[in-house]
Amino acid sequence: MALKFADTHCHLDFECFRANLDAVIQAAITLGVERFLVPGTQASNWGYQLDVCRRYPSRLFPALGIHPYFVEQHADCSFQVLSEAYARGRGAYVAIGETGLDGRYPGSFSLQQALFEQHMELAVLHDLPLVLHAVRAHAEVLATLTRYPRARGVVHGFSGSYEVAMAYIEKGFYLGVGGVVVRANAHKTRRALANVPSGRLLLETDSPDMGLPGENPPNTPSRIPTICQALARLRGEDEAALAARCQANADALFAWNNQKV
Ligand SMILES: [Zn+2]
């Protein structure tokens, strides 16, 4: 039986996909990728992002959020717009995000923290999972999660040690696994992903970024089966069983729905 997958993190609303989005999506569907979670990054793109998701009902599912990279472009009213969208569109969004902290941008860190906490509150209010971006800031992200014990979600594009991975899992979070799993020099992260419980793993490409080594950009959701295969090999597990497990994990975290946004 053909394997079925979800790409739990792909930016199909980005500029580079505008000319050939149909082909990109069709190619992935042919390989068994049935669902695509499209996270938000900045307020100015939410409108187009939702338009794209409406064009592919039951395939593309949106989450809205402000990526840590873009926080400085957002005046206070952007978060108000986000809150109103979630209040109005109850049931239309599968998650909130992406949001989180990125230590590569220390100049905006306090603003990142403030917006991150607002996203957390919104997620708890609507009982929705969070799509977290945590780069070089695991201690700060974990400390924030401790203050929101009801929060749940995924740490997308997880990179870090086994101990950090287990700390997220203990807080009820899943780990999003992307191209890092085929990067031979990512020893620490590969060791973590080899040993965490399979019940906490999700597959993602982070398209158009995070391409597999040696491949030309843009990365696309068609790489999901390759990521699954590499993860299965790393863990010494049967590929079909791991694919089914990751699919069940995605279904447990995200209430896939087709309500109008
Ligand atoms: Zn992303």
Q: What is the CATH number of domain 5-253?
A: 3.20.20.140
Per-residue pLDDT of 213-252, as tens digits, reads: 888 899 999 999 999 999 999 999 999 999 999 999 999 9
- pLDDT on residue 1: 64
Cα–Cα distance, 127 to 229 (Å, whole number): 33
Give residue 72 CA to ligand 1 midpoint distance, Å.
17
Give residue 209 CA to ligand 1 midpoint distance, Å.
8
Give the residues across from 154 on adjacent strands. 131, 174
Give residue 191 CA to ligand 1 midpoint distance, Å.
23
Give residue 1 CA to ligand 1 midpoint distance, Å.
31
- pLDDT on residue 46: 94
Domain boundaries, the chain: 5-253
Q: How many CA atoms lie within 13 A of 143 on its CB side?
A: 6
Give residue 63 CA to ligand 1 midpoint distance, Å.
11
Count helices and strands in the chain by DSSP H and E runs: 9, 8
Give residue 51 CA to ligand 1 midpoint distance, Å.
18
Per-residue pLDDT of 16-44, as tens digits, reads: 999 999 999 999 999 999 999 999 999 99
Per-residue pLDDT of 161-205, as tens digits, reads: 999 999 999 999 999 999 999 988 999 999 999 999 999 999 999
Cβ(85)–Cβ(69) below 8 Å: no
Give residue 98 CA to ligand 1 midpoint distance, Å.
7
> What does the block give as tokens for 11?
């930016």
